Amino acid sequence: MTSRSDRLQPAVDQAQRRQKEALQRLAEHQQKLAQAEQQLEELHRYRREYGLSDGGLTVSALLNRQQFVERIDQAIVQQSRLIERLQRLLEGARERWLQAHARESALGSVVERLRKQEHQSEQRLEQAEVDERMQYRGRRAGSPS
């Protein structure tokens, strides 16, 4: 007959897998957010550098430059929105990981407690068997043949 802890082990294994998967997704979201933040910083840097050079331009070159700067500004706005979205996704992934981790931890604790109880029960049974054998030997040794 299988013990309660053995019957719960598949649930523990599944909880561990889910926790690892959630942790992997969390890491992926963190990486995507870091990349997006780096791209935004590059856009800001490029915008600053491009804004510094304005000497000796013709009217058409100045208009082209202004349009290009506006496109950079639009890209900055879009990248900022992407970062906000990625931050929300990261927070959701963090919540899912925390829940999966808590479930894994709780199931692991239950199984550990059950195994400890089962071990104690086995020890009590073994001790009872030893005591019973000792009583039987004592009766046999004391009985006339």
- pLDDT digit string, tens, across residues 91-110: 999 999 999 999 999 999 99
Average pLDDT over residues 88-92: 98
Q: From CA 36, how far away is CA 84, in angstroms rounded?
A: 10
**Please, are residues 97 and 22 in contact by the beta-carbon 8 Å criterion?**
yes
Residue-level pLDDT at 59:
83
> Can you give the pLDDT at residue 34?
98
- DSSP per position, the chain: ---HHHHHHHHHHHHHHHHHHHHHHHHHHHHHHHHHHHHHHHHHHHHHHHHH--TT--HHHHHHHHHHHHHHHHHHHHHHHHHHHHHHHHHHHHHHHHHHHHHHHHHHHHHHHHHHHHHHHHHHHHHHHHHHHHHHHHHHHHS--
**Pairwise CA distance, residues 114 & 109, whole Å:** 9
- pLDDT for the residue numbered 54: 63
Q: Which two tokens mark 32? A: 């995507």
- pLDDT score recorded for residue 30: 98
Domains of the chain: 8-140 (1.10.287.1700)
| Per-residue pLDDT at 17 | 97
Q: Are 91 and 73 in contact (CB under 8 A)?
A: no
What pLDDT digit, counting tens, does each position of 14-69 carry?
A: 999 999 999 999 999 999 999 999 999 999 999 998 777 666 778 888 888 889 99
145 has pLDDT over 60: no
